[in-house]
Structures are given as C-alpha cells and as structure tokens.
Amino acid sequence: MTTGSSKEERGRLSGDPEGEGQSVGIPAAGELEGSSYNPLGDPGVRHWQASQISRPGLDERGNVFFAAIEMTRMPMVLTDPNQPDNPVVFVNRAFLDLTQYREDEVLGRNCRFLQGEQTDPNTVAELRQAVRDERAVAVDILNYKADGRPFWNGLFTGPVFDAGGKLLYWFASQMDITRRRVSEQSYLQAQKMEAIGQLTAGLAHDFNNLLQVVAGNLEMATFSIEDREAALQAIARAQLAGDKAGKLTQQLLTFARKQRLDPKRLNLNSLVVEFSEMLVRTLGDKVDLHLDLKPGLPSCTLDATHMEMALLNVLINARDAMPRGGRVTIATSTLADSERLDRLHLPPGTYVVICVIDEGEGMPPEVAERATEPFFTTKGPGTGLGLAMVHGFVQQSLGRLEIDSTPQRGTTIRMIFPLAQQSGIEMMGERAGGKGLNWTPAAILGRRTILVVDDSHDVRELAETHLRALGYRVLAAQSGEEALELVERYGDIDLLFSDIIMPGGMNGIRLAEAVRERQPKVPVILATGYMNELPAPTGATSSFAVMSKPYRLTDLTERVRMALEVAPRQEASGFQHEG
C-alpha cells in the first residue's frame, strides 16, 4: 500500500503558503497516495493530502465555499473520528445523488454501510490501516447504492487536524468509476485472449505430444506387466507427462480467468522455473531467455496466477523492444538497503526482488515516467494496459515496481515484494525435512471418516481407493443430494472432499454449506478444474480449501492430513459402520 505522509513525515513538510487563513495544508508534492485510478493523470503536486483548520465547527454554512461544496458534482463526506465508530457528520448533495440515500439515513453511521458481500476485504483493510496511521489514501472500492446496485467508487480520503495537531475529521471525495472499470476489464480480457491466441498453436502441439507419451507409456506398461521395474518406469513417464499436460491446461485457464485466484505463500524461483517453458514459447526463436536465480531465495505471499500474468506481460514488452532478437534475463535477489527502501516508501526489512532485463530499444525518461499509465503505449497495436496491470498487481501485493531504461541500451523492470510470514505448520514441515508423508494416518489420527463426492466414477474411485489405502474410512457419493443422504444415514463425518462442478441442483459449494450447517467445524476440501462465476460461500463457510484438477495423490494426502490435524474431530462422531 502506498499512502500519504505519516505524522513524522508531515512534521518535516512545509504548509501550503496559498492556503493561509482558516486552513492550511500539506501539498501532495507528487507523492502517490494509493493504487487507484487518479483523475489528475498523475500523483498531483498542489492538492492537499492533509489539512489543518483554525475553526473546527460545521455551523458556518453561509459562505461561498460551502455553496461550492453543495454545487459540485463531486460527492464529499466528513466523518468524526472522535466519536464512537467514526460516524458521518456531513455529506453534500452530490453524495446523496450518487448513493441514492437520504441525508437522515447517512448521518451518524459509519461509512461501512456502503459495503456489501463483494466488497474486497483487502481494500477495506487498506482503508482502516490508513485511518489508524492518519495518512491519506486513494483506493478503488466496490460499494452499493441504497437500492442494492453495486458501483465502483474512486475514493480519496485524508485527515483534517486543528492548529495543535489533533485529528478532527476525515474528509473523503468520491467518484463513480464503474464505466472505467468495466472498460478496463474488457481491455484486459481482450489482452488475455490475444495472448491465448499467440500460445494456442504451440500448446496444442505440446499437448498432443504429451497425450502420445501418456498413451504410449501406459501401453508399454501393459506389455511389461510381468517386468515390475520396466512397468514402473513406463508408468512414471506417463505420470510425468500427465503432470505437464495439467500445467498446460492450468495456464490456459489462467488467461481465460476461469481459475480461482488466491494469494498464497510461494517461491519466485520455483514459479519462474515452472513457467519458463511457456515464457520461452512466448519469446520466440529470436530471443534467448537466461535465468539468474538467487539460491535460497525467501518466499513471499502472492497470487501465483497474477504473478505469472505480470511476468508474461513484462516479457512480451521485452520481446517487442527487440524486433531483431536479443537476450532477456530473469533474475531474482533480495533487497535490504535501508536508504533505497526509504526512497521507495517501504518499511525497513528484507524484500524479494524479481527483475526482467532486456537489450532492447529502451525508453527516454519522459516515456518511462508514463509507462504504467493505463492505455498509454508506444506500440501501434498495443492496448497500453500491460505495465498498468503489472503496476496495479505489485501495488496490491504491498510491493513496488521500478523501471530503469536507457534509449538503445535496454530496460530493467523490477518487482519488489515483502517476505512471507511462515505459519506454524510450515515451520514444522521444514523441521521434519519434508518427510511429513511417511506416517500412517490410522496410527496417528485413528480411523477417520471421509466423504468423497464426484460425479465422475473414475475420479471418485481413484480418490476413494487412495484414501482407503491410507487407512481412512471412506463414504462415496456421485452427487450432492446422495452425499447428504449418506450423512443422514451414517452420522457425522471427519472431512468432506468434493468436486465443485456437478450436475443437478447442488454443486460442491452448496453441499459444503449444507454439511457445515450440521457440522460447523468439519474440514472441507473442494476440487475443480476452473471457477466460473460460482456462488460465493458466506459466513462460517467462507474458508474452504480448493485443489486444482488434475491433482497429485500425494498433494491430496497432505491436504487431508493438514485439514484433520488443524481441525481435529469432535469427540462424539455418531458414525455407524455397516458390517
């Protein structure tokens, strides 16, 4: 998150000399206040990011400035942080036009009444942190009108102090940016589909080759059934090819936006290596890709899908900057230089850096300064959203984007991210040396009951056989309705493992919600090949673990182990075992 000046930083800044009188302020001075769309086209210099007033009351409403506030079409709000829950104490008429609320329905309430089920909790957390730090911040947030209609709100909010530095009010200006967001998403989707078009031919060729490897090796295994070692080698080759085919499918789903997006702990070295095949195909024959990866690179918390898309966008720019070919290097490192972090407005600490270095045409300073602006492009057929999307992703991941470029000498683009925090389970797994799978579930956890639900007989049978071999009791159903009947017949279960997309009236999410109504603490693992506008879980059912298909059986083993370890079974199970 990038916000305005802190208390200490404001003390080192001079007030606006043009604002002397009843109020003075701290100019923005070109400092970013957030990652949202900026209507000025740049961070701005003269507008205030914090203000100070000499007469704090709201009763003087007979002057030209109050008339201007009521006449402007820019919605404005004042809240009072000195009252419980920071309620709204003033709104202008443009705010009432925007939200369709009456004034008496707004005054005295916290601004959260504008939020709804699809409002991003990370954006809300960003706002709350800015309020706690008494910093200005600008965000794009999904809000809701009085009649329930959603709208994208371009929100800027900043603090107002008295002459002694006491916080008096929070000021907020707003803007309905729904049309811009929809237009931007359309351009982003078009850009992804263009990337899919570039990759489809190569992916189809590779996929057919992998299918040939799978089918051929399985056929060889059947011929070598009496030679156990040869059969195992053939099966291993088929399994490896199947893994690669699964990755190709996931890469296509990533660009089609049909995959569940979820920030999680990842290592950038591993991501680059696993994604390198697609990157090489994207760069083409004229461009050589070199990797310079720092050994032992710490992990960070990122959305792997967005990270891959950001890296691909930067690589496409590098390729286009070298029409006659050349060399592109992807490098990783760490950054802990306090002076450099201060210039980047990052807190002290250690950060992970991934950079893309090309030998292309480079950019002059005036172009490099605008490179991350939406719809700004120096390429004829481009949309101008590639680096803008990368910049937005890095900002939302609490990192920074740096661009160093020299005409005719190339460009270096750095993405800087904070380190991930290790969970207790991860640290235990590292201390165990990665041998967490070498134990018997029946010996440690006792006999646990897992309900497996999948409409595919083959997939259901595979999971059922594997889990039974691990020592679990397994109930199997081919639909959500049949699964609920099994729960009613046998009593409580210890874990639900279900596919999401299933025919009939009940998908995996609805099944999980129904089971949670009976057993609020039961662990749930869902599996799917894609997420396509499914109803979002709510309340106590908002923390479902999701596995991507195809999954490795070893991954399923570990997911089940961790789920049962974190959420142990209640003492009274009510399980009735037939026979």
Q: pLDDT tens across 254-282, in order?
A: 544 444 446 788 899 988 887 787 788 77
Question: What is the pLDDT at residue 381?
Answer: 46
Question: What is the pLDDT at residue 307?
Answer: 87
Question: What is the pLDDT at residue 444?
Answer: 38
323/318 Cα distance (integer angstroms): 9
Amino acid symbol at 168: L
DSSP for 250-312, please give it. Answer: HHHHHHTT-S----EEE-HHHHHHHHHHHHHHHH-TTEEEEEEPPTTPPPEEE-HHHHHHHHH
Positions in the chain short of pLDDT 70: 1-57, 59, 61-62, 184-210, 247-262, 373-386, 421-446, 504, 530-543, 566-579
User: Is 82 in contact with 67 (CB distance < 8 Å)?
Assistant: no
Q: Angle at CA 317, nearest 5°, toward 321 and 185?
A: 150
Question: What is the pLDDT at residue 115?
Answer: 92
Question: What is the pLDDT at residue 565?
Answer: 79
**Strands annotated E in 433-531:** 449-453, 473-477, 495-499, 524-528
Question: What is the pLDDT at residue 373?
Answer: 65
Question: What is the pLDDT at residue 575?
Answer: 41
Question: What phi-psi label fits residue 398: left (phi over 0), alpha (psi between -120 and 50 degrees) or beta?
Answer: left
* 548 Cβ contact list (under 8 Å, min separation 6): 250, 259, 260, 527, 528, 529
* 132 Cβ contact list (under 8 Å, min separation 6): none
User: Is 188 in contact with 180 (CB distance < 8 Å)?
Assistant: no
Helix (H) or strand (E) holding 482: helix 480-490
Question: What is the pLDDT at residue 522?
Answer: 92
409/55 Cα distance (integer angstroms): 57
Question: What is the pLDDT at residue 464?
Answer: 87
284/265 Cα distance (integer angstroms): 31
Question: What is the pLDDT at residue 429?
Answer: 43
119/270 Cα distance (integer angstroms): 32
User: Is 447 in contact with 473 (CB distance < 8 Å)?
Assistant: yes
33/399 Cα distance (integer angstroms): 14
Amino acid symbol at 99: T
Question: Nearest Cα to 545, choosing from 505, 496, 502?
Answer: 496
Question: What is the pLDDT at residue 382?
Answer: 45
User: Is 363 in contact with 326 (CB distance < 8 Å)?
Assistant: no
